[in-house]
A and B are shown apart, each in its own frame.
Chain A
Amino acid sequence: MRSIFLHLHPAKVDRSSIEFNRTFGLGGMAALLIVVQLITGILLRFYYTPVPGSAYASVVFTKNQVLFGQFIRNIHYWSGVFLLLIAFLHFLRVFLTGAYREIRTKNWLFGLLLLVLIVFLNFTGYLLPWDQLAYWAITVSTNMIGYLPLIGESLRTTIIGGTELNADTLRTFFTFHTAVLPLLLLLLVFYHFWRVRKAAGILMPEAQEKPEMIPVVPNLVFKEFIVALVLLAVVFLFSALFNAPLLEKANPAYSLNPTKAPWYFAGVQELLMHFHPIFAAFIIPVSVAAFLAWIPFLNYGQAPNGRWFISEKGLKSSVTTAKFAVIITLSGILFNEYILNFETSFSFLPAFVSNGIIPLLILTGLMAGYYQFYLKGQSLSKAELVQAVFVFIIVAFIILTLTGIFFRGKDMALTFPWRAF
């Protein structure tokens, strides 16, 4: 057992590669949270009934009648939230230190796949309590699938096994959540770790002197232990203080106001408020995913140097791009909400044009202007340019997500968080 665990590491590591703020231990944290999810998930399964008539009652029973039921459920909920957040931060760290190409190309792609798996694990788990929150969030999200061209509607009815959520949906989601996805996740996590070893550990900036090699036990293992304990303490503290949400039992006749998608889809839902569904739920997300999968294959001309933001110039252009992204996303949301509704203003055009092509062209124009008048003058390398695009996408995504979660209230109108909740 001991040797299996230690096989994740080499015998010796470069002293400067295990400094905490090089990786912030994010990958390890994610792995630990996956273990926590497995254990608490198995515990919860002993009491859960995946049938619409009794699912809600079984969750209420777990929560109120089982010793530590509420606590275990809270841990499962919070470490699910943290897992997604930490995996996202890990993804940012890997990109921003340049560790997504050359020998690490495969691991970048499998890392993206892991991120998608974690989103789907969260998503399938979201339905299981069968309360109003679950029912309507999954209704809204699965309806987004219906807007995919050609296959959308049949894909949606296949996934939910009917035209609206029913017993088949719950059984399918339960099977994915508790068997298919965890198995895949475990396999891929092991592969992910193995590829890190294959790449001879994390990407390091070129050092002046020869790296000082020190034994992993106790140096690295001790640090990992501390990180694990602190993370567990934070999860337990959250679970003791804040209960996982549970509203009244699902009622198909009555929608919540507002009905929101799960928080990690709030960004897509916010896009849906501004773009024709084909753009918001298909063209834009698919383009972003394609961009992320494509970036390792560009010809950059030189190896990544392992430094945050590549260089001073890279940092400066990233910060400016982030500011530009904040301004353009916020003003875009406000402009579309209060000043010009493309669909009603140009109602003589098909919605696909008025609320899709036109706003997208305007945005593309603004970005082209930003490139022409700022980025071009910075004489950036290709990697720095790709980094600027990445930063723009991520910052816009974060702003959209935060708006969707915190600034949308009754009737999905824009409001302030203290009025929205």
Chain B
Amino acid sequence: MKKLQHKKTVSLVGKAPAEPLSRRDFFNRAWKWLGILAALEVTGMFTAFLFSGKSKKQSAPKQLLEAGPVDSFEKNSVSAFMGGRFYLARQKDGGFIALSLRCTHLGCSIAWEASKNRFICPCHSSAFDIAGEVLNPPAVRALDYYPVLIENGIVKVDIGTIVERSSFRKDQLQYA
């Protein structure tokens, strides 16, 4: 009875020839939009909760690791610094580069094979030369490196900053 009356009122008030919005429809729509809004709010809150804590972690500041005096590294030799996760490679011409031990293919730790004069990745046998350049695929990118500083004849490596590169260039080397 009540429903009938209510319908009648609306149709009397309605001006447009299109179906007028009944009170019931209005509330249904309102609930629907409120529901969508609530879902969006919850999604936003969850996303903020999950990701804000992770992104706040600051990138490490300059972290210098002293590798040793320049003269203690022979030319054309490689020394491992497992604690700093790098190999300090001194080239034939005396230039230094600190190569990350992560293979650029799938992230395994490479090993220096002195007899073959190359780094070899145990996972998919990618190979890199003493400057980190790719010798054998599947890796497509040269090894990442850490900046080297030479102060008062002491070689220091900034293990807080990792540099990605596609291939080796001469200016990546540091000279005493």
Check A140–B107 contact: CB distance below 8 A.
yes
- Contact stretch, chosen from A120-128, A191-199, A238-246, A251-259: A251-259
B101 contacts which of A142, A253, A258 (Cβ < 8 Å)? A253
Residues of B within 8 A of A344 (CB): 136-137
Task: List A residues 106-127 near B (Cβ within 8 Å).
Answer: none
Which B residue sits closest to A275, measured CB to CB? Answer: B138
Please state if A139 and B140 are interface contacts (CB–CB under 8 Å). Answer: no
Cβ of A14 within 8 Å of any chain B Cβ, yes or no, is no
Residues A259 and B108 in contact, CB atoms below 8 Å apart = yes
* A140 partner residues in chain B, CB cutoff 8 A: 106-108, 123
Task: Tell me whether B125 is interfacial, beta carbon within 8 Å.
Answer: yes
CB distance from A49 to the nearest CB of B (A): 21
**Pair B124/A143 contact, Cβ less than 8 Å:** no
Q: Which of A161, A168, A252, A256 contacts B122 (CB 8 A)?
A: A256
Residue B176 is within 8 A (CB to CB) of chain A in the complex: no
Looking at the complex, which one of B57, B106, B111 makes contact with A144 (CB distance below 8 Å)? B106
Contact with B along A135-169 (1 / 0, CB 8 A): 01001101110000000000000100111100010
Partner of A139, one of B54, B107, B110, B136: B107
- Among candidates B57, B82, B85, B109, residue contacting A255 with C-beta atoms closer than 8 Å: B109
Bound Cα distance from A411 to B124, whole angstroms: 6
Give the distance in Å from the alpha carbon of A182 to the alpha carbon of B156 in the complex. 49
Query: What number of A-B contacts does a CB cutoff of 8 Å give?
Result: 68
- Counting CB contacts under 8 A, is A284 at the interface? no
A224 at the interface (CB under 8 A from B): no
In the complex the two chains form, is B109's CB within 8 Å of A343's CB? no
Contacts of B85 in A (CB 8 A): 252-253
In the assembled complex, the CB of A149 is this many whole angstroms from the nearest CB of chain B, namely 14
Whether A355 contacts B137 by the Cβ 8 Å rule is yes
A253 to B136, CA, bound (A): 22
Interface string of B122-150 (1 = CB under 8 A from A): 11110000000000111010000000000
Contact pick for A259, options B123, B136, B137, CB 8 Å? B123
Chain A residues positioned under 8 Å from B88 (CB to CB): none
By the criterion CB–CB under 8 Å, are B138 and A258 in contact? Answer: no
Cβ distance A327 to chain B, nearest Cβ, rounded Å: 25
Query: Bound complex: CA of A277 vs CA of B124, how far in Å?
Result: 12
Closest to A276 in B: B140
Q: How large is the interface on B (under 10, 10 to 19, 20 to 34, 35 or more residues)?
A: 20 to 34
Residue of A nearest to B109 (CB): A255
Query: Does A420 sit within 8 A of B, measured CB to CB?
Result: no
Residues of B within 8 A of A277 (CB): 105, 138, 140
Q: Is the CB of A161 within 8 A of B137?
A: no
List of A residues within 8 angstroms of B101 by Cβ:
253
CA A168 to CA B122, docked complex, whole Å: 26
**A143 nearest CB across to chain B (Å):** 4
Closest B residue to A411 by CB, please name it.
B125
Q: Is the CB of A143 within 8 A of B106?
A: yes
Taking CB atoms, residues of chain A closer than 8 Å to B124 are 272-273, 412
Residues of B near A351 (CB, < 8 A) are: 137, 140
A303 interfacial contact with B, CB 8 Å = no
Residues of B within 8 A of A252 (CB): 85, 109
Which residue of A136, A161, A272 is within 8 Å of B108 (Cβ)?
A136
Q: Is A363 among interface residues, defined by CB-CB distance under 8 A?
A: no
Q: Which residue of chain B has the shortest Cβ distance to A281 in the bound complex?
A: B106
Q: How far is the CB of B168 from chain A (nearest CB, A)?
A: 16
Other-chain residue from B57, B82, B107, B123 in contact with A412 (beta carbon distance below 8 A): B123
Q: What sequence of 0s and 1s flags, for each residue 81-121 of chain B, a beta carbon within 8 Å of any chain A beta carbon?
A: 01001000000000000000110011111110000000011
A-side contacts of B125, CB under 8 Å = 411-413
How does the 8 Å CB contact mask read for B71-85 relative to A, with 1 for contact and 0 for none? 000000000001001
Quote the shortest CB–CB distance from B161 to chain A (angstroms).
12
Asked if B10 is at the interface (CB within 8 A of a chain A CB), the reply is no
Which chain B positions have C-beta within 8 A of A258? 122-123
Q: With contacts A343-B137, A351-B137 known, is A139 near B106, CB below 8 A? A: yes
Residue pair A254, B109 in contact (C-beta under 8 Å): yes
A273 touching B121 in the complex, CB below 8 Å, given contacts A253-B85, A255-B109: no
The interface residues of chain B lying within 8 Å CB-to-CB of A341 are 137
Considering the chains assembled together, what is the distance between the CA atoms of A343 and B135 in angstroms?
A: 11
Q: Which residues of A contact B102 (CB under 8 A)?
A: 164
- Indicate if the CB atoms of A255 and B137 lie closer than 8 Å: no
List 10 interface pairs A-B (beta carbons < 8 Å), by A numbering.
A139-B106, A139-B107, A140-B107, A140-B108, A158-B54, A253-B101, A258-B122, A258-B123, A272-B106, A355-B137
Q: Which 4 pairs of residues, A with B, have the shortest CB-CB distance?
A: A257-B122, A255-B108, A143-B106, A143-B107
B contacts, CB < 8 Å to A: 51, 54, 57, 82, 85, 101-102, 105-111, 120-125, 136-138, 140, 162
Given contacts A142-B107, A158-B51, A412-B125, 19 further A-B contacts (CB under 8 A): A136-B123, A139-B108, A140-B106, A140-B123, A143-B105, A144-B106, A158-B54, A254-B109, A255-B109, A255-B122, A255-B123, A256-B122, A257-B122, A273-B124, A343-B137, A351-B137, A351-B140, A411-B120, A411-B122
